[in-house]
Amino acid sequence: MNNSATLNVTKAFVSGMCEEKDYDVEYINLSSLNIKPCIGCLSCWGRTEGECIIKDDDIPMMKQKILDADVFVASFPLFFFGMPGTAKVFMDRMLSMMKTYRGQKSPENGESFHGLRYEDPNKKFVIITSCAYTEFGPVYEPLIKQFDCICGKGKYTMLFSPQLKTLIDLNNEAKINRYLNKFKEAGKEFALNGKLSEETEAKLKQPPFSEGAYKVFLDGFWREEKEKGGK
Ligand SMILES: Cc1cc2nc3c(=O)[nH]c(=O)nc-3n(C[C@H](O)[C@H](O)[C@H](O)COP(=O)(O)O)c2cc1C
């Protein structure tokens, strides 16, 4: 919800975008929505093609917002090398946004496996995600693979923010502001170019702490947590 560390970098990125272009921004918290899990009936690929039969929750509203949006930004922490359960439940309900699977082989050229039902080259999809590990590469491999299969390689922009929660928890305002400013600048670049340079992506991936300092912080954090006991 609003305590999400990831939301800090997302807000910084979006504020940068808004400095360059007059975006009409809406933040929607998935946890506050009524989202029923997919029941696996596949009606959205057959009987009611393109339409989910569950209509009494917030998914129809969200689908319309995604279709109307110029930029859709998904913000979430890494949970167990993937997206958190709430986001996965939401994602499953997006099956109606994908083309019906008709037995084709998996693509070898990095394209979306099913293909997007409403392909729009002007619509941008950004994923902003934070994690605890310093080396984001190995921990994000499964999630990157998943989004490559869903959207197609290069069809989305993913920003990583390693060690983020510790940076926010330590509450060093100057350091936090310097860090968030990188995301704000990236937001400006994205608004202007519709993508980020490799240099900017590399800059954002830089962890805020050295390996040694981070270990000391985490050891201290867990020691304090243990001392608090079940309180
Ligand atoms: C259930 C759970 C699973 C997590 N799994 C991972 C993980 O696989 N790899 C990792 O680096 N961090 C993992 N983390 C740490 C969070 O991704 C990280 O602290 C993140 O910055 C928290 O962001 P938030 O405040 O927006 O939730 C996990 C945290 C939780 C609570």
Q: Where are the domains of the chain?
A: 5-228
Going by alpha carbons, the residue nearest to atom 18 of ligand 1 is 131
- Give the residue, by CA position, lying nearest to ligand 1 atom 22: 77
Q: Is 100 helix (H, G, I), strand (E, B) or coil?
A: coil
Would residue 157 be called left, alpha or beta, if left means φ above 0 and alpha means ψ between -120 and 50 degrees?
Answer: beta
For the segment 177-204, what is each residue's pLDDT rounded down to a tens digit? 999 999 999 999 999 999 999 999 999 9
- Residue with CA closest to ligand 1 atom 2: 79
CATH classification of 5-228, choosing from 3.30.470.10, 3.40.50.360, 3.40.50.1970, 3.30.930.10?
A: 3.40.50.360
Q: Measured between alpha carbons, how far is residue 142 from residues 13, 34, 89, 114, 191 in Å?
A: 24, 27, 17, 18, 28
Cα(7) to ligand 1 centroid in Å equals: 13
Report the separation in Å between the CA atom of 70 and the middle of ligand 1, taken as the mean of its atom positions: 29
How does pLDDT run across 9-67, given as a tens digit for each residue? 999 999 999 999 999 999 999 999 999 999 999 999 999 999 999 999 999 999 999 99
